[in-house]
Structure 1
Amino acid sequence: MPDAEVYLVPDFIPVKDQPKLWEALQNEVAWRQEEIKFFGKSIPQPRLTAWYGDAGKSYTYSGLTWQPLPWIPILAQLRDQLFACTGVSFNSVLLNLYRNGQDSMGWHADDEPELGPNPVIASLSLGQERSFHFRHRTQKELKQKLALPSGSLLLMAGQTQHHWQHQVPKSAKPLEPRINLTFRVIR
C-alpha cells in the first residue's frame, strides 16, 4: 500500500492462549454501548466499547470523550507483550466487541490530535475473523481488503492515518462475536 506502513502478524496470540484471553476480556472488561450523533440524531454505537489507559489519557472521537479506566492485569500484560514486539510504549487501549455481523465500524482514520502526527496503532483481534477494508483518501481507486483472523496483530504506523481510512463493515452472513483491541499512544 503506497503512503502506508501496515504490518499483519496472523498468529501474534497463539491459538492455545486465545480461549482463556477471550474469557478474561468478556468477563473483566467494563463494556458499554455509547450513543453517538449520526446526521443530527443520537443512535447507539453498533458495537460495545471500553477505554483503558494511564491516568489522564482521555480520548475524544465521534463526539465522545473517554476518561480511561485503570489498566486491568490482562490488558497490562498485552500492552507489555506489544512493547516487547514493537518497542512502542502504548499508554491506552480502545476495545470493541462486535457481537455479530451487524456490528460494525464505519470509514475513519485514527488521526485525532491527541494521537500525534504519525500515530502507531496496534490492533489485536480475537474471535470471529472479520474483513478489514482500507481506502486511500485521494487516490480513490486504491483499496485493500484484509482478513483479520483470531489472534492476529495489525500494526498501522508512519503516514498511514494521513493517507488511508479503514473500516470493519457489516456482514450479511451470520457471524460469531469478535473482540478488537486497538492500543494507542495518547500525547
Structure 2
Amino acid sequence: MSGPPIHLDPAFVASPDALLEWLGAAVTWDERMRARKTASFGVPYDYSQIAYQAVPMPAELEILCVRIEAELGFRPDNCLLNLYSDGASSMGFHSDDIAALVPGTGVAIVSVGATRSIAYRSKTDSSLRFEYPLPHGSLLYMSDAVQQDWLHAIPKADGVGERISLTFRAIRK
C-alpha cells in the first residue's frame, strides 16, 4: 500500500517570511490548549472542546483563501492557526471531523516557520506509517478520503524552532 493521497506544494506562499512576521505581530493567541497556542479567523470551527468566536478573515489570510481556491477548487471560510513554539510542541495522531466541513473540501494546511514533519498512520494497518516534511511556505492538502483512512500527527522534534500551521476549511453551515 502506498502513502496517503495528499497534495503537497513546497513553495505555496510567495513571501513566507513576511507572512510569519505578520502573524507574529497581528495574532492574539488563545492559550486554552496545553500542547500549543491557537487562533481562529472566519466562520468558527470548534474542536477539542474549545469554542471560538467568529472573527473577520484578515486580508493577509484572505489572499491565501483565494490561492487555495485556485489550486484546490474550494474557498475556505475558516482559518484555524496552531502555534508550535518549539520541537516539544506537538499534536497526537487523530483525524479531523469531516462532518463539520462542506462535503468534498477537506483541510488545507499552510506551514510557516521551522520545518516539521507530518506523520500518517493507516487506520486499518498501524504498521503503515509515512512522514512528509512541511517546509516554510508549504501547502499540504488532505481530502475527505485521507481523513477517513489515515490518522495524522505532528511529532515532537528535537532542536527545531517555532512553526505556525494555518489550517483552512470550508465549514458546513
What is the TM-score of this pair, normalised by structure 2?
Answer: 0.91
SS of residue matched to 1:154:
strand
* Aligned amino acid, residue 131 of structure 2: K
From the two aligned structures, give the one with the greater strand fraction: 1
Q: Displacement, 1:144?
A: 0.7
CA contact (8 A) 1:129 1:147 kept: yes
2:148 maps to 1:159: no
Q: 1:184 aligns with which of 164, 169, 172?
A: 169
Partner of 2:40: 51
State how 1:94-173 maps to structure 2 within 5 Å: 94-171=80-157, 173=158
Partner of 1:37: none
Partner of 2:8: 8
Question: Hey, what's the Cα distance between the residues in 2 that align with 1:116 and 1:141?
Answer: 31
Partner of 2:23: 25
Question: Hey, what's the Cα distance between the residues in 2 that align with 1:74 and 1:141?
Answer: 40
Q: Displacement, 1:105?
A: 1.1
Q: Displacement, 1:116?
A: 4.6
What is the TM-score of this pair, normalised by structure 1?
Answer: 0.85
Describe the shift of the 1:144–1:3 C-alpha distance in structure 2 as closer, same or farther (beyond 3 A): closer
SS of residue matched to 1:59:
coil
Look at both structures and tell me which one has the larger radius of gyration over its CA atoms. 1
Question: Hey, what's the Cα distance between the residues in 2 that align with 1:162 and 1:116?
Answer: 15
Partner of 1:41: none
Partner of 1:175: 160
Partner of 1:63: 49
Q: Which runs of 5+ in 2 are unaligned?
A: none
Coordinate RMSD, CA, aligned: 1.7
Across the two proteins, how many residue pairs are aligned to each other?
172
